[in-house]
Structure 1
Amino acid sequence: MAAPVKILLLRFSSIGDVVLTSPVVRCLKQQVPGAEVHYCTKREYQPIVEYNPYIDKRYYLEGSLYSLIRQLRAEHYDYVVDLQNGFVATLIKSMLGVRTYSLGKPSLRTWLYLNWKINTLPTQHIVDRYLETVEPLGVENDEEGLDYFIPYKDQVEVDWLPVTHRHDYVAFVMGGRHMTKRLPLARMIELCRKINHPVVLLGDKEDRVTADAIALELGNQLIFNACGLFNLNQSASLLQRARVVFSHDTGLMQVAAALKKKVYSIWGSSTPQLGEFPYKTPYVLLEKSGLACRPCSKTGFGNCPMKHFRCMNELPFDFEVKELRQKKKNFE
């Protein structure tokens, strides 16, 4: 039997990024003989890692950082895998004093792309860069994609939904932390009208007013406003039940990819070239190409820096949801 090898993985933000580290967790556990994998993240992301069977122990950043470091030092790790490479992660690594493997950040290339629109970024997904970080440990990409584990207690029952949405619906992740990553209200209404199928709107409590306006315009037969009604894992359960998923560039888009749903991925101020498009799942990119001002930000802004917001206002809805068309034909 192989001697135990203790490995600590660090990633402190955000929902999507923590989900995107799941292949590294799985591959470390399955491919490193005797691996005991620990994961350290912020407490708010506990639902993402709590039920992952490839994680042996979890630590959460809340309150005193130095208290957390004392706990981590007591574990006597063999290796630290840093997929954050920020100030907190660097401090933890320096205090633990063990061999580390850290994600390299193409900061200059990203800056050139965002500010001068000169794209010299590698044509690879961030997940593949994460996995390159642990190649020295003998880890290879198993090509199985992302993981997301939903506990039984968070599975949404069919009868929790309106009758119109109990057996077939499209999920639309309409939320997003920053305005420039979201369609304006009028365009969300246009999108839901274009889909022309029962839609479950997903977002947080702050998105509920906007979602109510969509439901008021299109009617409850078409729209179910689930914003703020469900926790993260329950929202994942709703994604799992959906026929297809429409999503802005946000954390639940990565959750949908982990659940192997087909994703219609909506891009505004950011672009797929930044490396976080849906991973190992069918997807369709919805974006306004050819804009000299795009991308303007990786994380998004509160307002369009150019004031016109053409990336979202002029984004074409020229898609066809073949999965819905096929169902309608079968029904007929």
Structure 2
Amino acid sequence: MIKTKFISTGDYFFSFKRGELLGNIKIIISACFKKVLFTFLSFLINLKCIKKKKFAEEKITSILIYFPRSSGMGDLIMAGHFFKLIRDQFKNAEIDLCSSTISFTNKNYFNNFIKHESGIFKEVKSLSARKYDLILFPEKSLFGVIVLLFLNINYFVGYISQYKLFHNMVNSDYPEFNVIKDHYYYKSLNLLRIFKKDFNYIPTEHLPIPIDNELKPACDNNKYCVIIPSVNWNNRTIDYSILKQYTDFILSKNSQIILLGSGESKSRIDKLLSDFKGSNLIYSPGKISIEELKSYIKNCQFVLCGDCGPMHIAYALKKPVYTFWGPTSPSLRIPPDKMSVEDFIFPKDQCKVSSCYNMEHKPFCKSCLRLSDFNDVNHFERFVEKVYG
């Protein structure tokens, strides 16, 4: 049996097998370069924050919430409470959201939506068209840090390096976000403590997300579930043989299955369609719209997936969910007020590599791949029985 060795370089923790050393050296170099670049850019941003300004809320007439993520639908959904509270805090200000989409939050929180550009200079040009009194940066992003360096910042609060807040205001009495212990809700909500020191708000569920154009799935009946066979990270995906057994059990309940996903899911979808040819599996080739995704999930009986954006859509729509987790604890990502029917698989809870909980380490620590060894099909069958009553 090939032994697995573990190496630690600074904050990075990962494993490699004999014969994979060269590939992992490339990972080390890439990770270290990214960390050095982030540190340097954070230093430049920090220079903008050296001269602290006394914050005057009455002078805030325009706010930009900058969320430069090409995906991150789950992060947007979890930031819903933050968006709502910013609107409550600055009732008379114009608030713009710059993101890849506005489909996962209440549009009434914002005056304008600015589409996130893929190019840095296009983004700078787009955001420079208007001067903002306050810029809020609730998500760490290398792309976003570079863009912020080119913007004229009056007041600024946001996450630039790890989970430490950067800002250029005098008052700075706030606790730092702890990625290992704090629910992800608090990451964005922590920004509010800059303006309101006595801030105390505990969300108990995802806020409802809008469905602008509800579309009915092409099913013969209303009894169907949604399966997303794979997600971006291997350590959030179960072995195909187990997925096949799950699929077989669902079909035995005379239920239809809508297969969603592209990219990392496509090969598994093709396998399922081949192995269950002529069965009640429905798959529409091509990329579906966000509205289609939300509609499919809203009208389904349950969702089977890894830790991903559609999982958060299901929670926001209060649908039963069966999920698989890698390095991050579900107790820090799913709503604290758990639904009556929900289950998750999280073998990581017995892993002693606590540093792997840091989102920075996901690609490098392979100890979470034990999820591929999970084979308790009975656990899933009990979940389905609860859903179908």
- Counterpart for residue 172 of structure 1: 227
Q: CA deviation at 1:150?
A: 2.2
Q: CA deviation at 1:80?
A: 1.1
Unaligned runs of 5+ in 1: 109-119
Q: Does 1:189 align with 2:244?
A: yes
Superposition map of 1:158-237 within 5 A: 160-163=217-220, 166-195=221-250, 196-197=252-253, 198=255, 199-204=257-262, 207-226=265-284, 228=286, 230-237=288-295
% identical aligned pairs: 15
Unaligned runs of 5+ in 2: 1-57, 165-177
The TM-score normalised by the length of structure 2 is 0.66
Residues 194, 266 of structure 1: alpha-carbon distance in 2 compared, 3 angstrom cutoff: farther
- Counterpart for residue 150 of structure 1: 211
CA distance in 1, matches of 2:323, 2:388: 23
Q: CA deviation at 1:8?
A: 0.9
Superposition map of 1:174-323 within 5 A: 174-195=229-250, 196-197=252-253, 198=255, 199-204=257-262, 207-226=265-284, 228=286, 230-268=288-326, 270-272=327-329, 275-277=332-334, 281-282=338-339, 283-288=342-347, 289-291=349-351, 295=356, 298=359, 300-301=362-363, 305=366, 309-314=369-374, 316-319=376-379
Q: CA deviation at 1:127?
A: 1.6
Q: CA deviation at 1:64?
A: 4.6
The TM-score normalised by the length of structure 1 is 0.76
Residues 19, 50 of structure 1: alpha-carbon distance in 2 compared, 3 angstrom cutoff: closer
Q: Please say if residues 146 and 279 of structure 1, whose CA atoms lie closer than 8 Å, have aligned partners that are also in contact.
A: no
Residues 260, 50 of structure 1: alpha-carbon distance in 2 compared, 3 angstrom cutoff: closer
Q: CA deviation at 1:130?
A: 1.0
Name which one, 1 or 2, has greater alpha-carbon Rg: 2
Q: CA deviation at 1:234?
A: 0.6
Residues 181, 320 of structure 1: alpha-carbon distance in 2 compared, 3 angstrom cutoff: closer
AA at the equivalent of 1:35:
A
Q: CA deviation at 1:98?
A: 1.6
Residues 276, 12 of structure 1: alpha-carbon distance in 2 compared, 3 angstrom cutoff: farther
Residues 258, 49 of structure 1: alpha-carbon distance in 2 compared, 3 angstrom cutoff: closer
Aligned length: 305
CA distance in 1, matches of 2:375, 2:118: 43
CA distance in 1, matches of 2:142, 2:108: 29
Q: For residues 101-160 of structure 1, give each alpha carbon's deviation from its aligned partner in whole angstroms, at most 9, with x where no partner exists.
A: 21376569xxxxxxxxxxx844222122211112333466473523432221xx222xx4
Moved >6 Å (runs of 4+): none
Q: CA deviation at 1:210?
A: 1.6
AA at the equivalent of 2:236:
K
Q: CA RMSD in A?
A: 3.6
